[in-house]
Amino acid sequence: MSTGEAVAIAHPNVALSKYWGKRDGGGNFPAVPSLSITLAGLTTRTRVRWRSDLPNDRVVLDGRELRGPEAARALALVGRVRSELGLGASADVESLNDFPTASGLASSASGFAALALAAVPSGCDWEAARISDLARRASASAARSVFGGFVELEAGPRVAREDDFLAASQVAPPAHMPLVVLVCVTTEGPKAVSSTDGMRRTMANSPYAAAWVDHAPRLHRHLRDALLARDFERVGELAEASALAMHACAFAAGVTYWNAGTLEALAAVGALRADGTPAFATIDAGPHVKVLVRPEDAARAREVLGATPGVQRVIEATAGEGARLASAGEGP
């Protein structure tokens, strides 16, 4: 018997100023602020049914039931909703991505944003900030995918307590600064090191960890100012600088996400720039390179990147909307 059902749709986001590193003390609070673009063109659809006839919560992702550590964050999220709302039922979760899962394409961001929205029964009227806080506890980048356009997540409190509240918020709507993100997919396989593990190892072992935590907020403020001024080239330069600083810090701790295609794509972005096309790269916790260009340069950049050795395919995305409840027929 089903005691409530909702389907939510959410999109991944790509961070322009990166979140990397957590505050000590639990609760999944980021150590640095971040700013991202929510992407249209890549989609997660998640259905949650609260069922009194199901003995335990169940999570099925892309047709496969998740067990053990793989299911832990989703189970913690639905468990939190159950205890906050006093629900006497189990969650039956079914989720589908239309892009590679857990490969550095930010499937956790769209996945947990969609799960948070679908898990809270619609009659409860939680506002978006509360959904964002719920999603953040599973994956901090997911807090940003609850909102559309250009979205910011502040760093957590210096001494964070588990129950402190922290939600993302929109800095500017999708149309604020027209741009195209060309996602250069450099492998179809899942990534070897999860972002949580990569961050933990970086913060514990990188000689540059303190420098990153000191530098990232400054870079973030400059990027936010450039975005509000609609200065595309400055935003691109700072986004590339943020990604390179984050990966340099991680590299120094032996945390490497890149493959040969990553370097080839970076070189192609450099060549585009040398040739007069403003193109800027950013890289998340995976080997793919996401290239920011103006809409009028997208076709040319796509041609060059698509012909780059090691780039298997290019997905084109633009700034899109935040998470929303689906209408009938849009489910997974």
**Could you say whether residue 132 binds ligand PMV (CB under 6 A)?**
no
**Could you say whether residue 19 binds ligand PMV (CB under 6 A)?**
yes
Residues 6, 8, 10, 15: which binds ligand PMV (CB under 6 A)? Answer: 15
Contacting range for ligand PMV; rule: CB under 6 A; set: 93-101, 139-147, 179-187, 311-319: 139-147
Spatial CA neighbour of 116 closest among 78, 163, 149, 156: 78
Contacts of 281 (CB under 8 A, 6+ apart): 240, 243, 265, 266, 269, 289, 290, 291, 292
Nearer to ligand PMV, 87 or 245 (CB): 245
Kind and range of the H or E element at 319?
strand 313-319
- Minimum distance from residue 196 beta carbon to ligand PMV (Å): 6
- Minimum distance from residue 5 beta carbon to ligand PMV (Å): 27
Spatial CA neighbour of 108 closest among 219, 225, 13: 13
Calpha distance 80→246 (Å, rounded): 31
**Could you say whether residue 308 binds ligand PMV (CB under 6 A)?**
no
**Could you say whether residue 8 binds ligand PMV (CB under 6 A)?**
no
Nearer to ligand PMV, 87 or 115 (CB): 115
Calpha distance 330→332 (Å, rounded): 7
**Could you say whether residue 195 binds ligand PMV (CB under 6 A)?**
yes
Nearer to ligand PMV, 36 or 90 (CB): 36
SS3 percent helix, strand, coil of the chain, rounded to 5, is 40, 25, 35
Nearer to ligand PMV, 43 or 139 (CB): 139
Contacting range for ligand PMV; rule: CB under 6 A; set: 16-24, 81-89, 95-103, 304-312: 16-24
Six-digit token string for 236: 């691109």
Phi, psi dihedrals of residue 302, rounded to the nearest 5°: -65, -40
Nearer to ligand PMV, 155 or 180 (CB): 155
**Could you say whether residue 108 binds ligand PMV (CB under 6 A)?**
yes
**Nearest-5° angle of CA 194, CA 149, CA 228?**
110
DSSP codes, 217-263 = HHHHHHHHHHHHTT-HHHHHHHHHHHHHHHHHHHHTTT-----HHHH
- Minimum distance from residue 297 beta carbon to ligand PMV (Å): 24
**Could you say whether residue 18 binds ligand PMV (CB under 6 A)?**
yes
| Buried b / exposed e along 113-124 (16+ C-beta atoms within 10 A) | bbbbbbbbbeee
Q: Is 117 helix (H, G, I), strand (E, B) or coil?
A: helix
- Minimum distance from residue 19 beta carbon to ligand PMV (Å): 3
**Number of shown-chain residues binding ligand PMV (CB under 6 A):** 14
Residues 57, 152, 240, 284: which binds ligand PMV (CB under 6 A)? Answer: 284
Neighbours of 223 (CB within 10 A): 26
Calpha distance 180→318 (Å, rounded): 5
**Nearest-5° angle of CA 69, CA 287, CA 234?**
120
- For the window 205-234, what string marks contact with ligand PMV as x by the rule CB under 6 A? ------------------------------
According to CB under 6 A, which residues from 252 to 281 bind ligand PMV?
Answer: none
**Could you say whether residue 34 binds ligand PMV (CB under 6 A)?**
yes
Residues 140, 180, 292, 305: which binds ligand PMV (CB under 6 A)? Answer: 140
Nearer to ligand PMV, 90 or 145 (CB): 145
- Contact present, 44 and 116 (Cβ < 8 Å): no
Rule CB under 6 A: which residues touch ligand PMV? 15, 18-20, 34, 108-109, 139-141, 195-196, 284-285
